[in-house]
Amino acid sequence: MELVWSKKLSVGNASLDAEHQQIIKLVNEVDRAIGAKNMARFSQTLKQLEEAAREHFLNEAKIARAIDYDFNQHNIEHHYILREMQLIETELDAQHGSWSASVAEHYFQFLSTWAIDHIDEDDMKMKALLVARPYHFKPGDFSD
Ligand SMILES: [Fe+2]
């Protein structure tokens, strides 16, 4: 099932919302690659997702620092999911992409659950502090 970003997933910051939308788009692309049984594409999209997540976590950490939000728990989560994504990639590479559809589907479920929990549970905790700033706030806009 396609994941859809809607306003209720907004965490109150333009760059974080845009990155979350990109992450959701890539999780959907992983799903489409699985549906098409295109394992090369699955592997490639997973790498793009990992890259997008890595950049997003850096931006998120910068913003958290700027708004004085304690980011320790998020950092632990971020290390965990990046490691999981790497394990999935390693697994895929080792099997030369010859995964059964059910195995690939399992990983898609894992990634989509993570994407929604990351936004709706973890990042939502920052929303109260984020909405106190302009929607387009970026660290460095003010002295931080
Ligand atoms: Fe996030």
Which of 36, 32, 30 shows the shortest CA–CA distance to 92? 30
CA of 20 to the centre of ligand 1 (A): 6
Answer yes or no: is pLDDT of 123 > 90.
yes
How many Å lie between the centroid of ligand 1 and the Cα of residue 56? Answer: 6
Distance 95 CA to ligand 1 centre (A): 31
CB atoms near residue 12 (< 10 Å): 19
Out of 68-77, 85-94, 121-130, least confident range: 85-94
pLDDT of residue 141: 58
Among candidates 70, 55, 43, 46, which has minimal Cα distance to 18?
55
Separation of CA 77 and ligand 1 centre (Å): 11
pLDDT in tens, 55-64: 999 999 999 9
Per domain, the residue ranges of the chain are 12-130
The per-residue pLDDT for 38 is 86
C-alpha 45/C-alpha 8 separation (Å) is 26
93 C-alpha to ligand 1 centroid (Å): 27
- Cα-to-centroid distance, 98 and ligand 1 (Å): 32
Question: What's the 120 CA to ligand 1 centre distance in angstroms?
Answer: 9
State pLDDT tens for residues 37-50: 888 898 899 999 99
pLDDT band, residue 89 (cuts 50/70/90): confident
CATH code of the domain made up of 12-130: 1.20.120.50
Rounded-to-integer distance, Cα 49 and Cα 2, Å: 16
Q: Per-residue pLDDT tens for 127-138?
A: 999 999 999 999
pTM for this structure? Answer: 0.92
Q: Which residue matches tokens 């890539």?
A: 26
Distance between Cα 62 and ligand 1 center (Å): 12
